Amino acid sequence: MATPTLAETLKFANLQMAAEALFGFDANRNPNQAPGDTASTTGHSIGLIPIGVLTEGNRHASKFTQTEAEKFVTQWAVVDHISNTPTGFSGTLFRALKDDPSQGIVKDQLVLTFRSTEFIDDAARDNEATNKLEIKEHGWAFGQLSDMEAWYQSLKVDGVSLSQKQFSVLGYSLAGHLATAFNLMHGLDSYGGQKLIQNVVTFNGAGVGKIGDGSLVTTQVKLPEMIQAFSALRTQAEGPDGLIALLQSDLGRETYQTLKTQLASGATPGDSHWGYIEMKMALVASTLPFSNEAEDYGLLSAS
């Protein structure tokens, strides 16, 4: 991957700014806004970009001036935008409408972008659940990576969007973590002898965790397996019996049922729930590291 030129850096910075926009999916204005769904058209936007989407941006600092927005919408269109999923993941696939050598834009080039932390408007999912309880504690944003992977697979369907096509990947802050993880999972993907990922650009990325011996080879093999296993756990957890059948100890089942009852009543996942798991199980797990309780502690901590 070649180092981007200054002109290309400007291109990617503008694309990241556009990825921060809400694209009309604003829960502050519509509290009943449905989460984006990787398996349906709910919470998706495609086509030409209205100028107002960019000048409004994320309703905070990430927004275009009128002049820059007018220019951007002549350069790029949205192949697919997925708004905040239940984990807070948001992504946008952009396609270039025309050549613009001044910014290194080539007609029809594709750029896959992810949205950064929404500190104010989605603090519970982005900052608390993802940044603090997942990346800080475990090194990986399991929930958003799971949704990112599901969305990417939906874009790879034959004849659609990213099927057998090269593209660049882009992210800032939390999204820099997602972009880095994406490259670790798919950096070796190729078609016709060419790698599919042309560039990976991150701005102030959150970094990633360590798996096993921390080597690149181990991470490339194990990270996709971890996300696949996590996605399977999510699917099971959404069923009527949840994860109860996977727990091996009375203490683990008791802890899980208490947490499930709290969350079912509308409580927002946060430090108090993590603290409850720690209070109930951490001491036992450390005292008996190979026990059923220790296994259950690991499962509940990752969930």
Q: Among 156, 187, 203, where does a domain finish?
A: 203
CA gap 247, 302 in Å, rounded? 13
Q: Does 152 map to a domain? A: yes
Whether residue 158 is found in the same domain as residue 275: no
Whether residue 132 is found in the same domain as residue 199: yes
Q: Does 231 map to a domain? A: no
Q: Does 107 map to a domain? A: yes
Whether residue 123 is found in the same domain as residue 255: no
Q: Does 49 map to a domain? A: yes
What is the domain range of residue 257?
240-302
| pLDDT tens digit sequence for 252-288 | 899 888 888 887 777 666 667 778 888 888 888 888 8
Whether residue 92 is found in the same domain as residue 176: yes
Whether residue 197 is found in the same domain as residue 258: no
Which of 10-14, 42-46, 237-241 has maximum average pLDDT?
A: 10-14
Report pTM: 0.80
Whether residue 192 is found in the same domain as residue 61: yes
Whether residue 261 is found in the same domain as residue 134: no
Q: Determine phi and psi for 41, rounding to 5 degrees.
A: -90, 0
Decide: 234 and 146 in contact? Cβ < 8 Å: yes
Q: Does 229 map to a domain? A: no
The strand pair at 110-114 and 167-172 is best described as: parallel
Whether residue 138 is found in the same domain as residue 260: no
CA gap 145, 72 in Å, rounded? 28
Q: Does 109 map to a domain? A: yes
Q: What is the mean pLDDT of residues 156-183?
A: 89
Whether residue 181 is found in the same domain as residue 254: no
| pLDDT tens digit sequence for 1-11 | 678 889 999 99
In the Cβ-directed half-sphere of 26, how many Cα atoms lie within 13 Å?
Answer: 13
CA dist list (Å): 275 to 122, 140, 257, 282: 21, 19, 15, 10
The yes-or-no verdict on residue 27 having pLDDT over 80 is: no
The yes-or-no verdict on residue 125 having pLDDT over 50 is: no
Full DSSP string of 98-134? S-BGGGTB-TT-EEEEE----TTTTIIIIIIIIIIII
Residue 171 or residue 143, greater confidence: 171
Total domains in the chain come to 2
